[in-house]
Amino acid sequence: MSILIKNGRIITAADDYRADILIEGEKISAIGHNLSVPGAMEIDASDRLVFPGGIDPHVHLDMPFMGTFSSDDYESGTRAALHGGTTMVIDFVLQTQGDSLYSALKTWQQKSEGKALGDYSYHMAITDFNEHTRKELKPLIEEEGITSFKTFMAYKGALMIDDGQMVDLMQEVKKLGGMVTVHATNGDMIDKLIAKHRAEGKLSPLYHYLSQPEITEAEASGRFVDMAWYTGVPAYIVHLTCEGALNQVRDASKRNQKVFVETCIQYLLLDASLYEKDFEGAKWVMSPPLRQPKDQQTLWAGINQGLVQVVATDHCPFMWEQKQMGRNDFSKIPNGHPALEHRMELLFSEGVHKGRISPNTFVAVSSTNAAKIFGMYPRKGCIAVGADADLVIFDPNHRHTLSANTHHMKVDYSAYEGWEVTGKCETVLLRGKVAIDKGEVLVEKGYGQFIKRAKVSKVV
């Protein structure tokens, strides 16, 4: 059945206009004024915004970490994402050191196939780059549609690769048309600080933050940027948090280098004072940690300056019982927090509603730029004839309060408990089907599709 969205104010990364949108099958088939289609299901979007479905390119669903698993799986995680206007996520396949990339891919396919309600794709995390791994890159890009490769400069012995492996990987990925992304923090320095604090009996969540000072991120970001400059590979820094790290990217632009930057909603809104709440601070233990108010100002400015292209979540939730693993030792607290459902509404409320960013910038950093960077545009991330009909009908004036009592993420606390938000995702469409309508889920698990991605873009 055709769907006709009438009278909406359409917001894209570039435009702001009023029109009707006709959806036939999974695609947008027409955009115009006073459209009329006999038999079509009509949705009245008067006094509503209509924008592309959100894309969160940084989530961890059913991920093994620190002796446990993140609590949202592909079913609960993508359902929560849809409630919050995010129609597609990109998760991370984690290679086990000593094992193949394809073995890891098979594990993640078993986690996701037939379970996701929303669309999804994968980044491949390289934790052991060797000659066998090198040979797997080409078929991953050309046959599997996995074109971005995550690296870690921390978590030695589990995820971290050294600079030699990094350069080798960058050179190979550049030849094949892919992108290298990075968790940029100085793992050796962090490990030394963790050991120091533990030896001194300083074991509260505050010392998680104090073990990862800004310099550990700034130094690693600069080193990664320099290696990317040397190799010429398209490069992307995930979850950048602070002024020092962003200044490394700013300096690189002076030599005409382009480095893509992602921050996360929590780094725009929350700060390190939360770690002073005794063990309750464990709710916000993540890596990198929350920073200072001056860093929030830098990140908002970076969005408007074009230095920060994407706002994601690094959604990696753990139940409160799981967080208790570190009650007596901050280094054993599972790292991560829940945000996938709230990203779009928080970003609109704190960004657009409060005048920090424009509506067009909101769409760019929550959807369009990720689609362009990661090889999904114009199928995803835009409102255009022929694009997937992934759309959010949004009430910009609806005030509501975030709470664990009402969210849909599989976690028993909220990192934003009591936060008052202006703006609500009212109706969400995914590939031409109404997925969420006024809080009701109208798609079944398995409706979400794996999206193969094209080779990456160097520009947005």
Handedness of CA 55, 57, 58, 63 (dihedral sign): positive
Tokens of 254: 């002076």
**Measured CA distances, 48 to 2, 313, 351, 427, 446 (Å):** 20, 25, 18, 10, 29
The secondary structure of 104-158 as a DSSP string is: HHHHHHHHHTTT-SSEEEEEEE-SS--HHHHHHHHHHHHTS---EEEEESS-TTT
For the chain, residues with pLDDT lower than 50 are none
Rounded CA-CA distance 42/295 in Å is 45
Q: Note the pLDDT of residue 289.
A: 98
Helix (H) or strand (E) holding 75: helix 74-83
Domain residue extents for the chain: 3-51+382-412+420-441, 53-373
187-207 as b/e, with b when 16 or more CB fall inside 10 Å? bebbbebbeebeeeeebbbbb
Q: 287 in the Ramachandran plot: left (φ > 0), alpha (ψ -120 to 50) or beta?
A: beta
Q: Note the pLDDT of residue 424.
A: 98
Q: Note the pLDDT of residue 1.
A: 82
Token pair 């997925």 is at which residue? Answer: 435
What phi and psi, each to the nearest 5 degrees, are found at residue 368? -65, -45
Rounded CA-CA distance 460/457 in Å is 7
Q: Note the pLDDT of residue 455.
A: 82
Q: Note the pLDDT of residue 456.
A: 76
In the CATH scheme, what is the code of domain 53-373?
3.20.20.140
What phi and psi, each to the nearest 5 degrees, are found at residue 8? -85, 155
Q: Note the pLDDT of residue 133.
A: 96
Tokens of 67: 């002796």
Q: Note the pLDDT of residue 66.
A: 83
| Closest to 266 (Cα-Cα) out of 336, 353, 362, 359 | 336
Rounded CA-CA distance 144/140 in Å is 5
Bridge partners (DSSP) of residue 150 are 125, 181
In CATH, 3-51+382-412+420-441 is 2.30.40.10: yes
Q: What is the pLDDT of residues 213-239, one digit of tens each?
A: 999 999 999 999 999 999 999 999 999
Rounded CA-CA distance 142/201 in Å is 51
With contact defined as beta carbons under 8 Å apart, do 257 and 225 qualify?
A: yes
Q: Note the pLDDT of residue 67.
A: 85
Bridge partners (DSSP) of residue 420 are 401
Q: Note the pLDDT of residue 460.
A: 75
Bridge partners (DSSP) of residue 9 are 18, 49
Rounded CA-CA distance 1/460 in Å is 34
Q: Note the pLDDT of residue 180.
A: 98
End-to-end CA gap in the chain: 34
Tokens of 196: 């120091």
Tokens of 331: 């280094």
Name the H helices within 232-381: 243-253, 265-269, 293-305, 320-323, 343-347, 359-363, 369-373
Rounded CA-CA distance 169/231 in Å is 10
Q: What is the pLDDT of residues 254-304, one digit of tens each?
A: 999 999 999 999 999 999 999 999 999 999 999 999 999 999 999 999 999
Rounded CA-CA distance 346/202 in Å is 34
Bridge partners (DSSP) of residue 3 are 23, 41
Helix (H) or strand (E) holding 191: helix 187-199
Query: What's the pTM?
Result: 0.97
Rounded CA-CA distance 34/20 in Å is 7
76-102 as b/e, with b when 16 or more CB fall inside 10 Å? bbbbbbbbbbbbbbbbbbbbeeeebbb
With contact defined as beta carbons under 8 Å apart, do 51 and 391 qualify?
A: yes
Q: Note the pLDDT of residue 417.
A: 98
With contact defined as beta carbons under 8 Å apart, do 261 and 236 qualify?
A: yes
With contact defined as beta carbons under 8 Å apart, do 82 and 428 qualify?
A: yes
